[in-house]
Amino acid sequence: MSDSSFQRRKRVLSGVQPSGNLTIGNYLGALKQWAREQHRFESFFCVVDLHAITTPYDPAVLRAKTREVAALYLASGIDPAISTIFVQSHVPAHSELAWLLNCITPLGWLYRMTQFKDKSAKQQAESVGAGLLAYPVLMAADILLYQADAVPVGDDQRQHLEITRDLAQRFNHLFGETFTIPEAMIPLAGARIRAFDDPTAKMSKSEASEYHAVHLLDSPDKVKKTVLRAVTDSGREIAFSGDPERAGVNNLLELYEALTGQSRDVIEAHFASARGYGDLKKEVAAVLIETLEPIQARYRELTRDDAYIDDLLAEGAARAAEVAGATLALVHERMGFLKARA
Ligand code: TRP
């Protein structure tokens, strides 16, 4: 074996907020791909509870969702023997580095973030928390603590990854080489699943309307209802299309493509003899149910006993804290903090 084979595997870090209900979009665009790639990378997957408190929330729901999201990571195939799964707040270095980075973050960078503009517009101006503005700085801390080389994120997080890179560069420039500059890893397929009730909007896990999304824990009956109600157009041709008028049918086809892994030609040929969109919807619902069934079965198994998840999360946090702690110690030294006597 050559020496280079002992170089460390490239490191990846990503996270999901424990809010709302994870959707098929989260699975196809994130969890499924994380699980598939976990062998190639040294992976850290975080449940970002500290991010979930940047908009109004219910503490009891936060606690329940934190376990739920961790269990869904596992049920989606992320293997805790290979990857580190942990809860962000269990590793205090995240909050600590976020504060340090806040002090070198120009406010102008934060006011420019589209997510801040969108989310703050939904609240009374006077009640928007400082944490919502500083959200990207905490995300930068998540990533930089692990010296991550790559960060799998959706398109909507691209800007936050840019700020992370800018902050890493700024820190390295001010205090000396400290952080790895991470690259974005934008998922290929399934990342653009649209809402069933509005194909012009991205499918969201925090949308309250009933037939907006298929959630990972939805019953087969609910899945069927949601897909059969999906907004389409008045035509009947079942073909992939970039025409905004036909976004609903295109979304169903892209979903079918991501779920079955079949090529577009094969899919279009398959539906050529369909009598209308109803046939397409029935088949999409069927493959969705088939995909969710084993995930839900594993989820039920894993959550039979909370202690099982909590033990895994404790192990994950210990492993994460080792890596994060080493980076934080280096940051303290670089920034000129007096070392506390042991
Ligand atoms: N902001 C991300 C989102 O809403 C979640 C997140 C927090 C994250 N910290 C991260 C994603 C670090 C990747 C890496 O999707």
229 and 97 co-located in one domain:
no
Whether 51 lines ligand 1, by a CB cut-off of 6 Å, is yes
Is the pLDDT at 190 greater than 60, yes or no? Answer: no
Per-chain mean pLDDT for the chain = 95
Q: Count CA atoms closer than 13 A to 77's CA, side-chain side.
A: 15
131 and 31 co-located in one domain:
yes
248 and 331 co-located in one domain:
no
Whether 140 lines ligand 1, by a CB cut-off of 6 Å, is no
Is the pLDDT at 219 greater than 90, yes or no? Answer: yes
194, part of any domain: no
Strands, E assignment, the chain:
11-16, 42-47, 84-87, 150-152, 183-185
124 and 248 co-located in one domain:
no
Whether 22 lines ligand 1, by a CB cut-off of 6 Å, is no
57, part of any domain: yes
Report the nearest atom of ligand 1 relative to the CA of 160: 1
Is residue 98 exposed (0-12), middle (13-18) or buried (19+ Cβ within 10 Å)?
A: buried
Instruction: Report the CATH number that the domain containing residue 290 is assigned in CATH.
Output: 1.10.240.10
Query: How far is 42 from 9, CA to CA, in rounded Å?
Result: 6
* Average confidence (pLDDT) over 257-270: 96
Total domains present in the chain:
2
Give the predicted TM-score (pTM) of the model: 0.95
260, part of any domain: yes
289 and 261 co-located in one domain:
yes
Q: What is the pLDDT of residue 189?
A: 60
* Average confidence (pLDDT) over 158-167: 97
Nearest Cα to Cα of residue 269 among 232, 240, 241: 240
Q: What is the pLDDT of residue 2?
A: 44
167 and 268 co-located in one domain:
no
Q: Residue 111's pLDDT band (boundaries 50, 70, 90)? A: very high
110 and 60 co-located in one domain:
yes
Instruction: List the structure tokens of 121.
Output: 């517009």
Instruction: Report the CATH number that the domain containing residue 163 is assigned in CATH.
Output: 3.40.50.620
56, part of any domain: yes
* Average confidence (pLDDT) over 281-307: 97
268 and 322 co-located in one domain:
no
Is the pLDDT at 119 greater than 50, yes or no? Answer: yes
Per residue in 237-250, pLDDT (tens digit) is 999 999 999 999 99
Active site (catalytic) residues: 119, 202, 205
Whether 17 lines ligand 1, by a CB cut-off of 6 Å, is yes
160 and 272 co-located in one domain:
no
Q: What is the pLDDT of residue 192?
A: 81
Share of the chain above pLDDT 90, in %: 90
123 and 179 co-located in one domain:
yes
227 and 296 co-located in one domain:
yes
Query: How far is 213 from 226, CA to CA, in rounded Å?
Result: 7
Ligand 1 pocket test: pick from 19, 44, 97, 139 the residue with the most ligand atoms within 8 Å of its Cβ.
Answer: 139
- How many Cβ atoms from other residues are within 10 Å of residue 31's Cβ? 24
Is the pLDDT at 188 greater than 70, yes or no? Answer: no
SS3 15: strand
Q: What is the pLDDT of residue 3?
A: 46
Calculate how far, in angstroms, residue 131's C-alpha sits from the geometric centre of ligand 1.
14
196, part of any domain: no
176 and 276 co-located in one domain:
no
191, part of any domain: no
Whether 136 lines ligand 1, by a CB cut-off of 6 Å, is no
Q: What is the pLDDT of residue 342?
A: 85
Residue corresponding to tokens 């009730």? 197
Report the nearest atom of ligand 1 relative to the CA of 16: 5
User: Which amino acid residue places its CA nearest to atom 14 of ligand 1?
Assistant: 14
Residue 209 or residue 192, greater confidence: 209
User: Which amino acid residue places its CA nearest to atom 9 of ligand 1?
Assistant: 139
166, part of any domain: yes
Q: What is the pLDDT of residue 1?
A: 42
Ligand 1 pocket test: pick from 12, 17, 49, 65 the residue with the most ligand atoms within 8 Å of its Cβ.
Answer: 17
Q: What is the pLDDT of residue 51?
A: 98
Find the domain containing 248 and state its range.
220-300
Whether 153 lines ligand 1, by a CB cut-off of 6 Å, is yes
* Average confidence (pLDDT) over 111-118: 96
Per residue in 1-44, pLDDT (tens digit) is 444 556 678 999 999 999 999 999 999 999 999 999 999 999 99
251, part of any domain: yes
